[in-house]
Amino acid sequence: MKYPRTYYEYIRTVNPLLFKYIKKDLSYLKTAHADKAPFFDIDQFSKYFEEYIDEYFDRLEENFYETYSFLQDKRNEETLTKWLINDYLTILNFEIFNRKTFFISGQLTENLAFTDYNVTGKFLEPPFNCFLLVLNDELAKQLFCNIVKIIVKEYEEPINIFVTKVEEGENFLLKFYIRFGKIQLERALLVKSEIKISEIIKTDWENLFNINEFETEEQSSLEK
């Protein structure tokens, strides 16, 4: 069975500079015994990200990379920087947890549509702290485009959903980084074991980090 190309495989091909600096950060974290992943903020761990950003923007005029070519103008520099941060953080966590990838069949996608929202958050406990879900059936793509209100005639790429769990115990944060063609989305859920999924999905993403403190002692020490 031939599997579709994932976003990880795509970005590794078109942006080798990203992996050059991620490799440096992985070595730094291992040497510093500070690999208390997953991380949810660049400032918690990265020693080399600023160097990566500087080199990336130095090469923009050379049209060196096509990954974010539709954003590479002065009006979108802030947006481009955010995309670079998201990719860096997501791929680094994905590397730390051995790039676990699951290809979701069309039948399973349909089954997920019938999730019982009346069960509690304890059933949302993920099997790993960071992993990738890949959906490639047309129904999933169409439903996704309807949700984000974007008209797409045809997409050969699959939907890539990077799932990252932050914190341990009964309450934890689930971060979702979604890439589908030129579409990028971030979502987060604050999961509480005793709260129903129907309430959890109403998480206020904008105020989430202002209300809740997720920084661990080990991660905080990286900033010193």
Q: What is the pLDDT of residues 6-51, one digit of tens each?
A: 999 999 998 999 999 999 999 888 876 555 668 888 887 778 999 9
- Average pLDDT on 73-86 reads 76
Span 105-137, pLDDT tens digits: 888 877 877 778 888 888 888 989 999 999 998
Kind and range of the H or E run holding 174 = strand 171-180
90 and 128 both lie in a single domain: no
148 and 62 both lie in a single domain: no
Structure confidence at residue 158 as a pLDDT band (50, 70, 90):
very high
Residue 200, domain extent:
101-219
How do 159-166 and 171-180 pair as beta strands?
antiparallel
146 and 133 both lie in a single domain: yes
Confirm whether 1 is domain-assigned.
no
143 and 201 both lie in a single domain: yes
Domains in the chain, number: 2
Q: Is the pLDDT of residue 65 over 60?
A: no
Span 162-212, pLDDT tens digits: 999 987 667 888 899 999 887 888 888 889 888 898 888 886 655 544 444
What per-residue confidence (pLDDT) applies to 138?
Answer: 84
Confirm whether 108 is domain-assigned.
yes
Side-chain-side CA neighbours of 199 within 13 Å: the count stands at: 10
87 and 113 both lie in a single domain: no
Q: How many CB atoms are located within 10 Å of the residue 123 CB?
A: 11
90 and 124 both lie in a single domain: no
What per-residue confidence (pLDDT) applies to 99?
Answer: 96
Span 81-101, pLDDT tens digits: 888 899 999 999 999 999 999
Q: Is the pLDDT of residue 224 over 90?
A: no
Integer CA distances (angstroms), 99 to 23, 38, 130, 139, 170, in order: 14, 13, 8, 26, 25
57 and 151 both lie in a single domain: no
Structure confidence at residue 79 as a pLDDT band (50, 70, 90):
confident
131 and 74 both lie in a single domain: no
What per-residue confidence (pLDDT) applies to 218?
Answer: 41
What per-residue confidence (pLDDT) applies to 33?
Answer: 56
Confirm whether 2 is domain-assigned.
no
* Overall pTM surpassing 0.75 (yes/no): yes
Query: At which of 74, 96, 118 does a domain end?
Result: 96
74 and 148 both lie in a single domain: no
